[in-house]
Structure 1
Amino acid sequence: MLTYAPDLNPVAATWSSLRAALLDFAVHGIEELTALVKHRLKCMQYQPELLTGFIAKTVLTAGVVAVLGRPRG
């Protein structure tokens, strides 16, 4: 089984970027936090170069992912 490798996971880079964007905000409840996170994620959605960068930062290619994803047996 593979160990966790956040450097190979574009989702981890996405959440890291989101966390960094939220550091300067103070919220007064879970509803306000939820709204802020949704707004920031919506902004990321319209920045394809940012999301493409998260994927490009990984060293995995589609062929490597296909091999690693095969069950051992």
Structure 2
Amino acid sequence: VRAHIQLGGPLVVVWDNLNTHLAAGLKKYEADHDWLTTVRLPSYAPDLNPVEAVWSLVRRAMANTALDTPHDLDRKLRRELRRIQLRPHLTDGCLTATGLAIDPPTPP
């Protein structure tokens, strides 16, 4: 909801088939809100999920890194995710790697 308010437009959410994503309450919420579109991935399809490529970039950046505390880990993860967020070519590449295309919804 916060993303919809912040962006001021429709939202597309890509979900895997985690059991909490299949709950009746979420399906009802989706049906009640025309600004929300969900796309459900097959049961096991990491190659279709762009976030898998994002985590691959994060793991690569953190390879051979020794961290002293959970706080250091949190800070490093946030820094790497922010680095990716600020480089659109990286996020575009993560989507391109799936072979999927995001088509904007057609207005009614």
Name the TM-score, length of structure 1 as normaliser: 0.76
1:49 aligns with 2:89: yes
User: Which residue in the other structure is 2:69 paired with?
Assistant: 29
Structure with the bigger percentage of strand: 2
Alignment of structure 1 residues 1-73 onto 2, 5 Å? 2-62=42-102
Q: CA deviation at 1:11?
A: 0.6
**Max radius of gyration: which structure?**
2
Q: CA deviation at 1:44?
A: 0.8
Structure 1 residues without counterparts, runs of 5 or longer: 64-73
Higher RCO, 1 vs 2 (CA within 8 Å, ≥6 residues apart): 1
Q: CA deviation at 1:62?
A: 3.7
Structure with the bigger percentage of helix: 1
Q: CA RMSD in A?
A: 1.6
d(CA) in 2 for partners of 1:43, 1:51: 10
Tell me the SS of whatever aligns to 2:89.
helix
User: Which residue in the other structure is 1:70 paired with?
Assistant: none
Name the TM-score, length of structure 2 as normaliser: 0.53
Runs of 4+ in 1 over 6 A off after TM superposition: none
